[in-house]
A and B are shown apart, each in its own frame.
Chain A
Amino acid sequence: MLGKGGKRKFDEHEDGLEGKVVSPTDGPSKVSYTLQRQTIFNISLMKLYNHRPLTEPSLQKTVLINNMLRRIQEELKQEGSLRPMFVAASQPADPLSDNFREAQPAFSHLASPPLLPADFVSTMPLESCLTPASLLEDDTFCTSPAVQHDGPTKPPPPALQPVKDSFSSALDEIEELCPAPTSAEAVAAESAADDSKAQPSESNIHKPEGLLESRTAESKLMDPLPGNFEITASTGFLTDLTLDDILFADIDTSMYDFDPCTSATGAASKMAPVSADELLKTLAPYSSQPVTPNQPFKMDLTELDHIMEVLVGS
């Protein structure tokens, strides 16, 4: 709060940003305008998705924050900041419909916070951690968005929900460590573990050779769908996630691939993901490496431990 001197520094900083009316076309102030816009964007996302009230959140507040995000999104679109492959979803986040559906299924609040259109996330400067579709097609070791396929990787939804809830709360703890906005689809990071979208090609290097064969078999089963990179609200669970990048980037996902069709390998531990130790091993070489230049986020390995415990089944 703006108490006595409590936020003086921030205020002064903010004064510099917002004291004057800045338009995007001003030369030297364009940077501060962009910076301010970014700050407001981050704050807005945090407000929408980090808030877990016991009572229904204020619809007015939600609508106003939503409008703010939409406006920024429009601006960015006009400025051409969006990568062409990310088609802006026309729908806004629907915290509105989720919270106020007239007859909501009892579990709906577990699924909330609601889906965030991926373009909100994509407008974040995360391009460096997103793998272009073309790359993925070449990469036989990367699993494509497995959730698309009915057979292999469809986790039983009912079982998923309670896990999601505790998982998402565990992720929330991590989110607090993360300065960048995160999306609610962090809950889907579990299924995103199967996704290869976050896999930069470096992951190839660290693939255990013993798994080569199984990987090839896998990739035949799961066709990479470059089209999946058209992120719309309907495929929100496949959204390339900020948190996902941080947690699972550079990690060989085959180790904890949930694909039941995978022939006998270590990955046949199916629904039992790798132990925390194994994950930590794979992470260790990368812990000093920030995932993206924009996210100098130091992973707390104990947090990851905690997540794995939750995944394993509490």
Chain B
Amino acid sequence: FLGAGGGNDIQWCFSQVKGAVDDDVAEADIISTVEFNHSGELLATGDKGGRVVIFQQEQENKTQSHSRGEYNVYSTFQSHEPEFDYLKSLEIEEKINKIRWLPQKNAAQFLLSTNDKTIKLWKISERDKRPEGYNLKEEDGRYRDPTTVTTLRVPVFRPMDLMVEASPRRIFANAHTYHINSISINSDYETYLSADDLRINLWHLEITDRSFNIVDIKPANMEELTEVITAAEFHPNSCSTFVYSSSKGTIRLCDMRASALCDRHSKLFEEPEDPSNRSFFSEIISSISDVKFSHSGRYMMTRDYLSVKIWDLNMENRPVETYQVHEYLRSKLCSLYENDCIFDKFECCWNGSDRQVEFLSLCTSDLSNIVMTGSYNNFFRMFDRNTKRDITLEASRENNKPRTVLKPRKVCASGKRKKDEISVDSLDFNKKILHTAWHPKENIIAVATTNNLYIFQDKMN
């Protein structure tokens, strides 16, 4: 990325920003999840107010070959409402924790969205025609007096303004006592899993009144609880394999063919602690906030507070690569513990399988060779596994000149601060980038700041 390199280095440019300009952020507008669909044409965001906003990419304009289509609002709907648990006298937040798209089977699009307790399957369909010319109804819907009907005609479809409708097709409720943190659709496209702090359930997309518990780590005595589930994902190719990560920095791979209740893992991935880095906060910073399989399924990536780790599924005792996201925070852990930032859950994502990258994959072992994750001060980081180069970029309205390449950022950990560097003490810890997404096929990325969605794309020549 930085400086001269191979022609394959991506140069990121600002494309669009969505959301309010105010500095005063409305709580409901806080973005809580971002996800491209399988074609990349649609980009969904969920927010703390329980709403889902879907953006659609314009079809590429043949005349404007220097930029890819822009994303414009396609559909907005209220997915979840706040609820009240009367038994516990506590509110159930409507915040959307995760959105996952189903692959498209027909004209409609389907996605799963979940809050802490309930998963919903939404159908998003277009309507651009409507029937006209009924015999018994007027155009406005009023019924005609049958005695006035003298001739018959066949109603025909006429074009109308495009209307995008979202309707809930399934509601998967009452299966989670604890807070849902992950949903993952199986490669069979018929089942999916949902994971909360202590349990993972398996659902069939058609069946809402039954789900099967496949992992249960709740101890008999809750006072003995020391570890919770933090994320879970199905393997992209093997429909009986899934992984789940824990607050102690371990990842367990389970095979559903082994037993009905996958309490015994098939593989346990854990890196031994580095004694030179030991501190009071070792356990907390080892807690994994996200886990993502690579496209091939050969690798998986985990995000903990300070780093991103790449694991080879064939090697359990340590990751094959580790990338430091913001190592300069290691000396600030006590403050970050006090202000709760140490509990921030950063996500991570792989690059898409770009045509260019696909060609490269003949040389490399995997299509997945770039990882992206967020940090503070509206910075986000990318690591190239092949070149071992990394870059820090900023999502800010100051950089909003389209087709201008983003300037790399640098944080100065200590000592003399060079020009253009930012010192650790100047970082704004309220501006955190927790959610990022990469277009499945092109070099377009979506980066969510607190309440804004930034879209960047690579500079096309």
Q: Do residues A106 and B89 form an inter-chain contact, with CB atoms below 8 A?
A: yes
| Complex: chain B residue closest to A105, CB-CB | B87
**CA distance in complex: A244, B225 (Å):** 30
Interface of B, helix, strand, loop or mixed by DSSP = loop
| Complex: chain A residue closest to B345, CB-CB | A60
Q: Do residues A40 and B90 form an inter-chain contact, with CB atoms below 8 A?
A: no
Q: Which of B195-254 contact A (CB under 8 A)?
A: 197-198, 222-223, 225-228, 230, 247
**CA distance in complex: A72, B280 (Å):** 9
**CA distance in complex: A95, B227 (Å):** 14
Q: Do residues B226 and A67 form an inter-chain contact, with CB atoms below 8 A?
A: yes
A9 → chain B closest CB, angstroms: 11
Contact with A along B71-106 (1 / 0, CB 8 A): 000000000000000111111110000000000000
Residues of A within 8 A of B343 (CB): 58, 60-61, 64
Question: At the interface, yes or no: A36 with Cβ under 8 Å from chain B?
Answer: yes
Residues of B within 8 A of A96 (CB): 222-223, 225
Stretch at the interface among A13-21, A179-187, A254-262: A13-21
Question: At the interface, yes or no: A102 with Cβ under 8 Å from chain B?
Answer: yes
Residues of A within 8 A of B428 (CB): 1, 3-4
Residues of B within 8 A of A19 (CB): 331
**CA distance in complex: A310, B89 (Å):** 24
Specify which of B86, B90, B336, B429 lies most central, judged by the most chain A CB atoms within 10 Å of its CB.
Answer: B90
Q: Do residues B93 and A55 form an inter-chain contact, with CB atoms below 8 A?
A: yes
Question: At the interface, yes or no: B339 with Cβ under 8 Å from chain A?
Answer: yes
Q: Which of A59-106 contact B (CB under 8 A)?
A: 59-61, 63-64, 66-68, 70-72, 91-92, 94, 96-97, 99-100, 102-104, 106
Residues of A within 8 A of B341 (CB): 1-2
Question: At the interface, yes or no: B27 with Cβ under 8 Å from chain A?
Answer: no
Question: At the interface, yes or no: B194 with Cβ under 8 Å from chain A?
Answer: no
Contact with A along B291-314 (1 / 0, CB 8 A): 000000000000000000000000
Contact with A along B412-430 (1 / 0, CB 8 A): 0000000000000111111
Residues of B within 8 A of A11 (CB): 332, 335, 425
**CA distance in complex: A37, B333 (Å):** 13
Q: Do residues B228 and A104 form an inter-chain contact, with CB atoms below 8 A?
A: no
Q: Do residues B225 and A15 form an inter-chain contact, with CB atoms below 8 A?
A: no
**CA distance in complex: A109, B225 (Å):** 20
Q: Do residues B334 and A18 form an inter-chain contact, with CB atoms below 8 A?
A: yes
**CA distance in complex: A67, B426 (Å):** 31
Stretch at the interface among B4-12, B271-279, B319-327, B364-372: B271-279
Question: At the interface, yes or no: A10 with Cβ under 8 Å from chain B?
Answer: yes
Question: At the interface, yes or no: A159 with Cβ under 8 Å from chain B?
Answer: no
Q: Which of B350-372 contact A (CB under 8 A)?
A: none
Residues of A within 8 A of B337 (CB): 40, 43
Contact with A along B390-426 (1 / 0, CB 8 A): 0000000000000000000000000000000000011
Question: At the interface, yes or no: A128 with Cβ under 8 Å from chain B?
Answer: no
**CA distance in complex: A41, B338 (Å):** 11
B332 → chain A closest CB, angstroms: 7
Per the CB 8 Å criterion, the residue count for chain A at the interface is 50
A59's contact among B90, B91, B178, by CB below 8 Å, is which?
B178
Q: Do residues A100 and B222 form an inter-chain contact, with CB atoms below 8 A?
A: yes
Residues of B within 8 A of A64 (CB): 247, 283-284, 287, 343
Residues of A within 8 A of B425 (CB): 2, 4-5, 8, 11
Q: Do residues A37 and B430 form an inter-chain contact, with CB atoms below 8 A?
A: no
Q: Do residues A67 and B283 form an inter-chain contact, with CB atoms below 8 A?
A: yes
A36's contact among B283, B334, B427, by CB below 8 Å, is which?
B334
Q: Do residues A109 and B89 form an inter-chain contact, with CB atoms below 8 A?
A: yes
Q: A2-B425, A97-B223 are in contact. Are A55 and B92 (CB under 8 A)?
A: yes
Q: Do residues B223 and A91 form an inter-chain contact, with CB atoms below 8 A?
A: yes
Q: Do residues B90 and A15 form an inter-chain contact, with CB atoms below 8 A?
A: no
| Complex: chain B residue closest to A90, CB-CB | B223
Contact with A along B185-197 (1 / 0, CB 8 A): 0000000000001
Question: At the interface, yes or no: B317 with Cβ under 8 Å from chain A?
Answer: no
Residues of B within 8 A of A5 (CB): 425-426
Q: Do residues A104 and B88 form an inter-chain contact, with CB atoms below 8 A?
A: yes
**CA distance in complex: A252, B140 (Å):** 84
**CA distance in complex: A43, B334 (Å):** 9
Residues of B within 8 A of A94 (CB): 222-223
Contact with A along B165-201 (1 / 0, CB 8 A): 0000000000001110000000000000000011000
Residues of A within 8 A of B427 (CB): 2
Specify which of B247, B276, B341 lies most central, judged by the most chain A CB atoms within 10 Å of its CB.
Answer: B247
Residues of A within 8 A of B227 (CB): 63
B287 → chain A closest CB, angstroms: 7
Question: At the interface, yes or no: A54 with Cβ under 8 Å from chain B?
Answer: yes
Question: At the interface, yes or no: A56 with Cβ under 8 Å from chain B?
Answer: yes
**CA distance in complex: A15, B331 (Å):** 6
Residues of B within 8 A of A108 (CB): 88
B85 → chain A closest CB, angstroms: 8
B279's contact among A21, A66, A102, by CB below 8 Å, is which?
A21
**CA distance in complex: A67, B225 (Å):** 9
**CA distance in complex: A15, B333 (Å):** 9
Q: A1-B430, A19-B331, A100-B222 are in contact. Are A60 and B279 (CB under 8 A)?
A: no
Question: At the interface, yes or no: A275 with Cβ under 8 Å from chain B?
Answer: no
Q: Do residues B334 and A14 form an inter-chain contact, with CB atoms below 8 A?
A: yes
**CA distance in complex: A237, B6 (Å):** 69
Question: At the interface, yes or no: A39 with Cβ under 8 Å from chain B?
Answer: yes
Q: Do residues B88 and A109 form an inter-chain contact, with CB atoms below 8 A?
A: yes
Residues of B within 8 A of A39 (CB): 334
**CA distance in complex: A70, B226 (Å):** 10
Residues of B within 8 A of A1 (CB): 339, 341, 428-430
Residues of A within 8 A of B225 (CB): 63, 96
Residues of B within 8 A of A66 (CB): 226
Residues of A within 8 A of B340 (CB): 47, 61
B313 → chain A closest CB, angstroms: 25
**Additional 8 contacts, C-beta under 8 A, given A3-B429, A94-B222:** A1-B430, A2-B339, A14-B335, A64-B283, A68-B284, A96-B225, A99-B88, A109-B89
The 23 sampled A-B contact pairs (Cβ below 8 Å) are A1-B428, A2-B429, A4-B426, A5-B425, A8-B425, A11-B335, A15-B332, A21-B277, A21-B278, A21-B279, A37-B280, A39-B334, A54-B91, A56-B179, A61-B340, A64-B283, A64-B343, A66-B226, A72-B280, A94-B223, A102-B177, A104-B88, A109-B90
- The 3 A-B pairs at the shortest CB distance, nearest first, are namely A97-B222, A59-B197, A91-B223
